[in-house]
Structure 1
Amino acid sequence: MRVLLANKFYYRRGGDCVYSIELENLLRAAGYEVAFFSMDFPENLENPWNFYWPSEVAFSPKKIAAFFKAFRRPFGDAETVKKFTSLLDEFKPDVLHLNNVHTQLSPVIAEIAHARGIRVVWTLHDYKLVCPAYTCFCNGKICEDCIGGDKRNCTAKKCLKNNWLASKIAEKEAVAWNRERLENSVDMFICPSNFMKAKMEQGGFDALKLVAFHNFVDDSKFSHDNMERENCYCYVGRLSAEKGVETLLQVASKIAIPLYVLGTGPLETELKAKYVQSAQIRFMGHCDWETCKSILLKSKFSVVPSEWYENNPFSVIEPLCLGTPVLGANVGGIPELIEPGKTGELFRMGDAGDLEKKIRMMLDKDYSFDVEPIRGHFSKDRYLEQMMSVYR
């Protein structure tokens, strides 16, 4: 079987990129022929197929020519069509597997492949197909106005980066690549959570074209020496509004137990200044995996306080694979990963009082569970078997 993967970037920029590269490695290791289609970008990794990648586009209103070039890209510009068609001619895939392709590439590649009789599948890393702004999160709150509804809400509320122009482009993109058009050229949409599958159905997508299974993890990441748990807990993730980290820090400032905060983001400076007097809150900044792992292993539990529709967060999966319980917000795909009372607990999203209650409860309780079934559930072998059933 020959599989052509597509993602807008080809370096470890975010979860979609990491997944795409890891899937490429997984398929190749299993003996499949794999090619990759992406946008040309300075930070991309080397790839033998990059000759066929369309040039970089950047949305910068200060550079008019560059802006109009970028504006055409989401709708299927000539360069993308020509280069993708040439790649199909050369590689002759059996399957086109899309990932994050909006804006810097285009769903037009699904139509081109489908017209040639190539099976098209699409792993959904966000809510872009039902929400023009990707996140179902607007102005600090969860928003479902566009799910199955009028996409002009995106512009009216300036949902994308609180910017009218960016929101208008997202609206036009959503109208152009509507549900009917996408369903006509995609054989199966892969949802990494049951929650996302439900949101796609809510948006009108055919349930027969939707399948839900969780993403995979690299088992080798979780090898470690035994460590003693300390009387502390941690947060690993981006310091941004939708992650609920400020609600967590408000609570943590009242609890005289160390909280390790691993990560950076737009709220970093503000949060450090606000909680500089709270000695128990320890900002660690960006940390490599070995540092994250050591803190997860010594912590009594990890907190995932998100205030948006998390999909299939590794911030839940990775601690559980290490045997570290997780206290998660009862929102999005988080609840389907945590077994309350056994592998962690859930609290009401955004409810500081309930969060404090659950933190204190988990600090006083010992959790012990077998990690092998959890690792097995997220294993590469299991995932490959599920993916092959979709490909075929």
Structure 2
Amino acid sequence: MRIVVAHNRYREAQPSGENTIVDAEMAQLTAAGVEVLPFIRSSDEIPTMPTTAKALLPISPIYAPRAQQELSRLLTEHRPDVLHLHNPYPLLSPWVVRTAHRHGVPVVQTVHNYRQVCSSGLYFRDGMICQDCRGRALGVPAIVHRCYRGSRAQSALMATTLAVHRGTWKSVDRFIALTTAVADHLRDYGIPDERIVVKPNAVPDPGPPAPLGDGFLFMGRLTPEKGLDLLLEAWRRHPVGALGPLRVAGDGELRPMVEAAAAERPDVSYLGQLDRAGVRAAIEASAVVLATSTWHDVLPTVIIEALASGRPVLGTALGGIPYLVGAGTPREPAGTGPASVASAVRGDGAATLPVGVVAGEAGWVVSPDPAALAAALPVARTGAAALAPAARARYERTFHPDVVTKQLIDIYADAARTAPRH
């Protein structure tokens, strides 16, 4: 089987789980005997592009002529079975779908965000979940609020791109929804069930888990939607040292907030941006990994890495996080709310949990509320050892490359066999 993998890499200065997943997936496919033809561009190329190419950048999300020419040559020369698209912006454009179809090549796309509808891709604006552009022919709210790169002009371009390519997206032969929540998003967009397959990402197996460390690890982009302010407010509700250490790794606009918290409390430390070896060491030093996003985070790679290392996860009950840890959504009886200190019985009757917290197979999910998160932190610290074996087992069963790569190859084969010739 011969597959073209098309992806516009995010800037290396902006850490991206999506880049990591695409790289790992290509390696996993190659190891499984699939011939992978990378069609990769990087946003890091933009500063060094010739003046003539830079002049075309404003229209490239709608139509990137150079990318279409190069892709046409690749498809003509190699005649692949499938084109697998990840991120098309800004140097590829969704037009690659039309180019592939013109050559009779079916297209599979992994949906890593909500950019079929939302210009920022996050369903998040001004510190809150926002879905104002759902159901609109043109995302005017995105323009008004400068949702794309803080620019009204660039937001207008992205909103126009999404409007122009509505038909393009609806012509994709198979969508890979990373979780059931993404599948719901695609159905809401108008994609029929028969063209949606739920398949998560995988990360390489790090080997048998090391013994649990102590405390908590937050690792990811230091940006508002990742819930750092929520985490730090919840952490401050406990005496210094009561929960063990809190380690924070990553970089982004909220780095000063983390550095200030580390200066304020000796139980908070900032590790900076880590390489792969540093990531593994940080996970092994901790007992629980945190995913406190305040947006509908699609599939945080850090959670899969945690499960692979036998670390349970405490996360917010948003987006794909409940799916990853094998949990439902928090129970909030009328009149209590997430701040209540009342107890709820865990499904198996083995323990009681604060209302707003649900125990899953490999961790806990909590309402995105400081009081609820504060109540969940000691529960997670106490329960980490009991859930650690289940965390590793969930990885082996659901997120191991051997499992996920087979699913992906089956998706390719089905698309190649049944997709209409456009």
The match for 2:290 among 303, 307, 315 is 303
> Distance in 2 between the 1:253 and 1:76 partners?
49
Q: Judging changes above 3 Å, is the alpha-carbon distance between structure 1 residues 236 and 164 closer, same or farther for their aligned structure 2 residues?
A: same
> Distance in 1 between the 2:372 and 2:11 partners?
39
CA contact (8 A) 2:10 2:16 kept: no
Read off the aligned partner of 2:30 and give its amino acid letter.
R
Corresponding residue number in structure 1 for 2:145: 157
Calculate the TM-score normalised by the size of structure 2. 0.81
Corresponding residue number in structure 2 for 1:249: 232
> Distance in 1 between the 2:110 and 2:82 partners?
13
Q: Judging changes above 3 Å, is the alpha-carbon distance between structure 1 residues 222 and 298 closer, same or farther for their aligned structure 2 residues?
A: same
Look up the SS of the partner of 2:84 in the other structure: strand
The match for 1:376 among 397, 405, 412 is 397
Corresponding residue number in structure 1 for 2:199: 213
> Distance in 2 between the 1:212 and 1:274 partners?
39
Corresponding residue number in structure 1 for 2:417: none
CA contact (8 A) 1:253 1:281 kept: no
2:332 paired with 1:344:
no
- Aligned-residue CA RMSD in angstroms? 2.4
CA contact (8 A) 2:307 2:395 kept: yes
Question: What are the ranges of 5 or more consecutive residues in structure 2 without an aligned counterpart?
Answer: 327-358, 414-422
> Distance in 2 between the 1:187 and 1:359 partners?
43
The match for 1:227 among 211, 224, 231 is 211
Q: Judging changes above 3 Å, is the alpha-carbon distance between structure 1 residues 59 and 146 closer, same or farther for their aligned structure 2 residues?
A: farther
2:262 paired with 1:260:
no
Deviation at 1:64, TM superposition (A): 8.7
> Distance in 2 between the 1:193 and 1:228 partners?
28
Query: Deviation string for 1:324-365 (max 9, x for gaps)?
Result: 11111010000112241542211101x000000001222333
Read off the aligned partner of 2:196 and give its amino acid letter.
L
The match for 1:36 among 35, 38, 44 is 38
Deviation at 1:376, TM superposition (A): 2.9
Look up the SS of the partner of 2:213 in the other structure: coil
CA contact (8 A) 1:194 1:213 kept: no
Q: Judging changes above 3 Å, is the alpha-carbon distance between structure 1 residues 10 and 266 closer, same or farther for their aligned structure 2 residues?
A: closer
Corresponding residue number in structure 1 for 2:376: 358
Look up the SS of the partner of 1:8 in the other structure: strand
Look up the SS of the partner of 2:8 in the other structure: coil
Q: Judging changes above 3 Å, is the alpha-carbon distance between structure 1 residues 296 and 23 closer, same or farther for their aligned structure 2 residues?
A: closer
CA contact (8 A) 2:76 2:103 kept: no
Look up the SS of the partner of 1:266 in the other structure: coil
Aligned residue runs from structure 1 range 102-117, under 5 A: 102-117=89-104
CA contact (8 A) 2:71 2:96 kept: yes
CA contact (8 A) 1:58 1:70 kept: no
Read off the aligned partner of 1:188 and give its amino acid letter.
R
Deviation at 1:372, TM superposition (A): 3.2
Query: Deviation string for 1:106-154 (max 9, x for gaps)?
Result: 1111112112221211111111112122111112211111222241221
2:165 paired with 1:177:
yes
Calculate the TM-score normalised by the size of structure 1. 0.87
2:174 paired with 1:188:
yes
Q: Which stretch of the first structure deviates more once superposed, 270-279 or 322-331?
A: 270-279
Higher relative contact order (CA 8 A, sep 6+): 2
CA contact (8 A) 2:212 2:311 kept: no
Deviation at 1:198, TM superposition (A): 0.6
Identity of aligned residues (%): 26
Q: Judging changes above 3 Å, is the alpha-carbon distance between structure 1 residues 315 and 193 closer, same or farther for their aligned structure 2 residues?
A: same
Look up the SS of the partner of 2:217 in the other structure: strand
Deviation at 1:270, TM superposition (A): 3.4
